[in-house]
Chains A and B, each alone.
Chain A
Amino acid sequence: MIGVISYLAFFLTIALILAIAVLGLNLQWGFTGLFNGGIVAFFGAGAYGLVLLGGPERVDGFGGFGLPYPVALAGGIVLSGLLALLVGLATTRLRHDYLAIATFGVAIALESVVRNAEYLTGGAKGLRGFARPFESTVANPLAYNLLFLGVVVICLVAVYTFLETLVRSPFGRLLRAVRENERAARSLGKSPPTIRLTSFVLGAMIMGLSGGLYATFYAFISPQDLAPILTFQIWAMLIVGGSGNNRGAILGTLVVWGSWVGSGWLLTAAAPQEWQLYAGSIQYILIGCIIVLTLLARPRGLLPEKLTQMSYKTR
């Protein structure tokens, strides 16, 4: 019984941490129409930022300032925001697929930098030994995990509430205006690129929060956690849940994460030995198919596409 609860807590914790990132993506895509092709970079920046600022002193490297947890977490979030600013400034005033390319690129670049800059980031070994907050005071591991799950739930609710409020605020109306009719928004003196940039950076910071919580949970971060597959998983979660809808985003997370874990378990348990090597490939093909088939099945594709500038359709 304890085992089941323990496993469920574990599963839910990860799922809800990822759900936070999905909400961040929903702000960027669902509400602003921005395509983030490198979600994992902003997730990872938050994670690494947290560990570098709040982790134990490092003998042979930078970081490990042992700052209080909230400060370290905030630092990670700010780092994600800065990264988003770097990429966003270059691209939000250009055609939309440039952001896709640039974010895709920043994820690759970050992974390679993190993997190699041993002094800065611990290189391929990653950074371990992060002291989880209050761990020493709560002796029972199960109790701690449940407590941590509670914290994650609180964060998720906070982000959800923040976004729901944002959407109903004047800024939210601006977002809609920019999405639906850019020229009209411009004529009212609003700068669409700035609005998009703000939304992008905010969304990235939410992803940074998710990354920070992730690193906290595992008390460890390494370049493996910056693998591109996470970007696809987060996207799949958003699509399946229906973009533009925060509640759908959370639901989609649970469905996709459940399927991912379930399919992984199934392959390990049921597939013959020779296939085990290919379990990853099969899962990747699965996600690829989910993405493509969902897009084809929905006649309008992903919802918030820009309605302008599609004047000449190909025949």
Chain B
Amino acid sequence: MPIIHEVSVTTEPEEIVCIVGPNGAGKSTLLKTIAGLLRTADGSISLGGSTITGIRPDTLAQSGVAFVPQLDNIFRTMSIEQNLALAARRCHGNRRQRTQEMKALFPVLDEKFKAKAGSLSGGQRQFLAVAMALIAEPSLLLLDEPSAGLSPKAADEVLGMLRGIAESGVAILMVEQNVKAGLRVSDRAYVLAEGRNQHEGDAQTLLTDPVLGEIYLGARREESHAAKSV
């Protein structure tokens, strides 16, 4: 059963685009499809002018698409060093240098370099996950609910880094359940519901736009209808 019916999204380098919407809208599904993990029945995905629809996720990862899943986004039984080494396999540049740069960008990773990733706190794990995505210098960074499960402070830290990352030339596309926090750091946003585009526009303007509430509430009314009839 298709979750996404008709969705259209574009991003540009150095731009942060946020996707919001009620549960079941298909936001995560969209990211996973772009990352190559799910198949599309129809439609196309292109990166920098070339079509990437139907390409394997590992090939995409090698070609500059980086995906940070919401859950299980680090290898718990491996150390930070091993996690980064694994992620660095697809580096086009100098692996040692890129690892150093990641350690500089996320000092906590340097401190706990040899520790098992499973022993890190939520926020630290998210840093590692993002580092693993960035280490290969992606052109597109996909983030699935980066603030999920994090304390407000950690969430702010993670989201706050995104501007700097974007400025280095990366296009960022993220899904956020925390609408305010997500829109605050973004340039543009799309609102998805029931597998379709419902609205799009400037992220800062959308923060105060009442249409946002309408879409969420509309969807909520649908949900309670469905629950009653089962």
Enumerate chain A interface residues (CB-CB to B < 8 A): 184, 188, 307, 311-313, 315
CB <8 Å contact, A315 and B230? no
Contact B230 A188 (CB under 8 A): yes
Q: Which residues of A contact B154 (CB under 8 A)?
A: none
Residue of B nearest to A177 (CB): B230
A184–B1 alpha-carbon span in the complex (Å)? 15
Q: How far is the CB of B144 from chain A (nearest CB, A)?
A: 13
Closest to B37 in A: A312
Bound-complex Cα distance A217 to B38 (A): 55
Q: B56 touches which one: A307, A311, A315 (CB < 8 A)?
A: A315
Q: 1/0 per residue B11-39: CB within 8 Å of A?
A: 00000000000000000000010000111
A82 to B20, CA, bound (A): 51
In contact, B230 and A313 (Cβ under 8 angstroms): no
Q: Shortest CB–CB separation between residue A6 and chain B, in angstroms?
A: 54
CB distance from A135 to the nearest CB of B (A): 54
Contact of B38 with A311 in the complex, beta carbons under 8 Å: yes
Closest to B230 in A: A188
- The residues of B that contact A184 with a CB separation of less than 8 Å are 230
| A284 to B186 Cα, complex, angstroms | 64
Minimum Cβ distance to chain B for residue A202 (Å) = 24
Give Cα A315–Cα B39 distance, bound, in whole angstroms.
10
Which residues of B lie under 8 Å from residue A315 when comparing CB positions?
56-57
B79 vs chain A, min Cβ distance (A): 25
Residues of A contacting B38 with CB < 8 Å? 311-312
Q: Which B residues lie within 8 Å of A307 (CB)?
A: 1
Report B196-230 CB contacts with A as 1/0, cut-off 8 Å: 00000000000000000000000000000000001
B30-60 vs A: 1/0 string, CB under 8 Å? 0010000111000000000000000011000
Which of chain A's residues have a CB closer than 8 A to the CB of B57? 315
A312 to B39 alpha-carbon distance, docked (Å): 9
CB distance from A305 to the nearest CB of B (A): 14
Task: For A311, give the chain B residue with the smallest CB separation.
Answer: B38
A265 to B16 alpha-carbon distance, docked (Å)? 74
Known: A311-B32, A311-B38, A315-B56. 8 other contacts (CB 8 A): A184-B230, A188-B230, A307-B1, A311-B37, A312-B37, A312-B38, A313-B39, A315-B57
Please indicate the chain B residues that have their CB under 8 angstroms from the CB of A313 in the complex.
Answer: 39
Q: Which residues of A contact B56 (CB under 8 A)?
A: 315
| CA–CA, A311 and B38, complex, Å | 7
When chains A and B are docked, how far (Å) is the Cα of A295 from the Cα of B61? 35
Within 8 Å CB of B37, what residues of A? 311-312
Most buried by B among A184, A188, A307, A315: A315
Q: List 11 A-B contacts (CB under 8 A).
A: A184-B230, A188-B230, A307-B1, A311-B32, A311-B37, A311-B38, A312-B37, A312-B38, A313-B39, A315-B56, A315-B57
- Residues of A contacting B39 in the complex (Cβ-Cβ under 8 angstroms): 313
Task: Give, as a whole number of angstroms, the nearest-CB distance from A269 to chain B.
Answer: 53
Considering the complex, give the chain A residue whose CB is closest to the CB of B58. A315
**Bound-complex Cα distance A188 to B32 (A):** 29
**Min C-beta distance of B41 to chain A, whole Å:** 13
Q: Across the A-B interface, give the 6 residue pairs with the lowest CB-CB distance, nearest first.
A: A315-B56, A312-B37, A188-B230, A311-B38, A313-B39, A184-B230
Which residue of chain A lies nearest to B32 when distances are taken between CB atoms in the complex? A311
A311 cross-chain contacts in B, Cβ below 8 A: 32, 37-38
* Complex Cα–Cα for A31 and B125 (A): 42
Closest B residue to A314 using CB positions: B56
User: Could you tell me the distance in whole angstroms from the C-beta of A43 to the nearest C-beta in chain B?
Assistant: 37
List chain B residues, Cβ under 8 A from A312: 37-38
